[in-house]
């Protein structure tokens, strides 16, 4: 099984610093000098963006861990990943 | 008496403590080395006030550096690409390379441009001294913060937040307290007091005024993120959740060494600070003193815990 990030899957940028504190995460997007604070759900989504986990699998994890229904989780996760991508904290590995 | 005189024409030796670091400066023949008066009033006597580290600075002229007519206090701190153990501190016209020389000891080679024939008042190395102190402090587990501060019962209370947040106003509304810093503060673990932190005032915020307690080193009592309350509300102080407290501290840090590893170390340093020193949020109201609230929060750890807020919060831009 390969541990390498897969094309098209969300992956934390190597140019971010990331620490979880009290269930929440601080994410520094180094090149933009932008600091973000994520709540517990956001922190978990960010953790799962490892370049090997599909968005579907992330949604499944969130549904299982936070007792939320699938449509709500999918909408929130997809929106949040787009938001993170816009900040540069997440890349889609292999995409141009 | 500390010696800050410019070295012209002979070599000079200067010794002072600034921002938690003891400086020993050896300047060569013909080197201009003068701290601006306002800057010099923020120094301590290294024999009277403990420091976290010591640095031996040699200052030499580098003809390849362009002198500038109006040096600023802006500086950058970066690891040298080909030698990561070396930190390069640079301002518009000065440059220094910093290396460790044992526990709590450093060596810095400072290069300055030649004096111009018409330069009767050599500009100060303020930016490089600021940068060296910040870089050394960070290596020793300390933090350099964009903050106003007051002295409360012999302790420092820091007000942090982005420009325009009301840090100076919060300091002025602390009736009965002497000012400690207008714009910048260094903090570091207090080696003489278990579990505590200590704060040093740095220049900035005013070219003509110096805070009353600027020359002292004070134990750190609290850090408060400043918010402006509704004009008809009463001032209040709240403790912050761990992540909010870290956010407040990190968004107020100086330094420009931007790498993921440096950032994670910085957040870890802020987390250690937050574990030992109360970090809260103060909602100020013009015309209302909040000194009693500060005292209660800093020394009695009073105040409610703010509820976590959902999703993504971004600061407007982290200092500098």
Q: Which domains does chain A have, with CATH numbers?
A: 10-91 (1.10.10.1150)
Q: Which of A37-41, B14-18, B19-23, B62-66 shows the lowest mean pLDDT across its residues?
A: B62-66
- At B118 the pLDDT is 61
- At B301 the pLDDT is 55
Q: Which residue of B has its CA nearest to A21?
A: B243
B31 within domain boundaries: yes
B312 within domain boundaries: no
Contact A22, B242 (CB under 8 A): yes
Query: Residue B305 pLDDT > 50, yes or no?
Result: no
Q: Are residues B66 and B110 in the same domain?
A: yes
Mean pLDDT value across residues B143-153: 95
Helix (H, G, I), strand (E, B) or coil at B24: strand
Out of B264, B312, B317, name the one closest to residue A36 (CB). Answer: B312
Which has more confidence, B192 or B170?
A: B170
| Interchain CB contact of A35 with B (< 8 Å) | yes
| Interchain CB contact of A89 with B (< 8 Å) | no
Q: Are residues B241 and B95 in the same domain?
A: no
User: What Rg do the C-alpha atoms of chain B give, in angstroms?
Assistant: 20
φ/ψ of B176, rounded to 5, equals 95, -5
Which has more confidence, A49 or B191?
A: A49
- At B117 the pLDDT is 60
Contact B49, B201 (CB under 8 A): no
Which has more confidence, A77 or B95?
A: A77
Q: Are residues B21 and B166 in the same domain?
A: no
Last-in-domain residue among B139, B159, B189: B139
Per-residue confidence at B266, pLDDT binned at 50, 70, 90? Answer: confident
- At B255 the pLDDT is 66
Contact B314, A84 (CB under 8 A): no
Query: Residue B314 pLDDT > 50, yes or no?
Result: no
- At B123 the pLDDT is 53
Tally of domains in chain B: 2
Residues 6 or more apart whose Cβ sits within 8 Å of residue B85: B79, B99, B100
The alpha carbon of B153 is separated from its chain's Cα centroid by a whole number of angstroms, namely 21
Contact B174, B290 (CB under 8 A): yes
Query: Residue B211 pLDDT > 90, yes or no?
Result: no
- At B116 the pLDDT is 63
Q: Are residues B156 and B291 in the same domain?
A: yes
Q: Are residues B94 and B166 in the same domain?
A: no
- At A41 the pLDDT is 94
pLDDT tens for each residue of B34-85: 677 777 778 877 888 789 999 999 988 887 877 666 656 677 888 777 887 8
Domain that holds residue B89: 12-139
Q: Are residues B48 and B93 in the same domain?
A: yes
Q: Are residues B132 and B185 in the same domain?
A: no
Joined together, the tokens standing for residue A71 give 């449509």
Predicted structure pTM score: 0.82
B314 within domain boundaries: no
| Interchain CB contact of A38 with B (< 8 Å) | yes
Q: Are residues B152 and B167 in the same domain?
A: yes
Q: Are residues B147 and B104 in the same domain?
A: no
Out of A37, A40, A80, name the one closest to residue B244 (CB). Answer: A37
- Average pLDDT over all residues of chain B: 81
Out of B242, B250, B310, name the one closest to residue A39 (CB). Answer: B310
Comparing CA positions, the residue from B139, B138, B157 lying closest to residue B147 is B157
- At A81 the pLDDT is 95
Joined together, the tokens standing for residue A79 give 């929106």
Report in angstroms the alpha-carbon separations of B236 from B48, B167, B245, B259: 37, 15, 16, 37
Owner of token pair 């820091």:
B158
Low-confidence ranges of chain A (pLDDT < 50): 1-2, 96
Comparing CA positions, the residue from B167, B122, B104, B170 lying closest to residue B12 is B122
Q: Are residues B95 and B226 in the same domain?
A: no
Identify the residue among A12, A13, A19 best suited for mutation to test binding to B, counting B beta carbons within 10 A and taking the highest: A19
Helices (H), B219-290: 242-250, 260-276
Last-in-domain residue among B121, B139, B157: B139
Q: Are residues B170 and B133 in the same domain?
A: no
- At B21 the pLDDT is 94
- At B79 the pLDDT is 79
Task: Report the percent of chain B where pLDDT is more than 70.
Answer: 81
Q: Which residue of B has its CA nearest to A22?
A: B242
B6 within domain boundaries: no
Per-residue confidence at B147, pLDDT binned at 50, 70, 90? Answer: very high
- At B70 the pLDDT is 60
Give the separation between CA B195 and CA B191, rounded to whole angstroms.
Answer: 9
Give the separation between CA B15 and CA B12, rounded to whole angstroms.
Answer: 10
Query: Residue B317 pLDDT > 60, yes or no?
Result: no
Write out chain A residues lying below 8 Å of B307, CB-based. none
CATH number of the domain that residue B235 is part of: 3.40.50
Comparing CA positions, the residue from B238, B300, B242, B227 lying closest to residue B275 is B242
pLDDT tens for each residue of B153-166: 999 999 999 989 99
Mean pLDDT value across residues B245-267: 82
């Amino acid at each position: 099984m390969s541990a390498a990030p897969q094309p098209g899957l969300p992956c934390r940028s190597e140019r971010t610093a990331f620490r979880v504190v009290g269930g929440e995460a601080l994410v520094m997007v180094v090149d933009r000098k932008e600091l973000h604070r994520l709540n517990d759900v956001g922190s978990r989504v960010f953790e799962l963006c490892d370049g090997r986990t599909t968005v579907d699998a992330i949604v499944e994890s969130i549904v299982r861990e936070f007792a939320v229904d699938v449509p709500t989780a999918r909408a929130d996760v997809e929106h949040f990943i787009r938001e993170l991508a816009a900040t540069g904290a997440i890349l889609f590995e292999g995409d141009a | 008496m500390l010696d800050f005189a410019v070295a012209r024409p002979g070599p000079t030796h200067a010794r002072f403590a600034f921002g938690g670091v003891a400086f020993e400066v050896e300047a060569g023949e013909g080197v201009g080395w003068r701290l601006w008066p306002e800057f010099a009033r923020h120094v301590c006597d290294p024999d009277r006030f403990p420091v976290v580290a010591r640095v031996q600075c040699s200052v030499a002229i580098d003809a390849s550096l362009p002198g500038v007519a109006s040096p600023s206090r802006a500086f950058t701190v970066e690891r040298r690409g080909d030698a990561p153990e070396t930190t390069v501190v640079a301002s518009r016209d000065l440059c220094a390379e910093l290396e460790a020389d044992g526990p709590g000891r450093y060596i810095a080679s400072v290069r300055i441009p030649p004096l111009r024939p018409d330069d009767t008042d050599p500009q100060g190395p303020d930016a490089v001294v600021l940068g060296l102190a910040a870089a050394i402090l960070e290596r020793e587990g300390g933090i350099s913060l964009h903050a106003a501060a007051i002295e409360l019962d012999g302790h420092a209370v820091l007000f942090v937040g982005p420009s325009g947040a009301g840090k100076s106003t919060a300091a002025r509304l602390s009736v009965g307290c002497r000012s400690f810093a207008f714009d910048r503060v260094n903090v570091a673990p207090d080696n003489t007091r278990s579990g505590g932190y200590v704060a040093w005032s740095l220049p900035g915020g005013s070219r003509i005024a110096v805070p009353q307690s600027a020359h002292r080193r004070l134990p750190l009592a609290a850090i408060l993120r400043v918010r402006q309350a509704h004009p008809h509300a009463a001032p209040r102080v709240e403790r912050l959740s761990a992540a909010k407290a870290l956010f407040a501290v990190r968004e107020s840090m100086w330094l420009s060494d931007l790498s993921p590893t440096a950032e994670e170390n910085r957040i870890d340093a802020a987390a250690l600070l937050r574990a030992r020193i109360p970090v809260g949020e103060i909602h100020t109201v013009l015309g209302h003193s909040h000194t009693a609230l500060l005292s209660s929060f800093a020394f009695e750890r009073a105040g409610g815990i703010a509820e976590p807020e959902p999703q993504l919060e971004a600061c407007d831009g982290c200092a500098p």
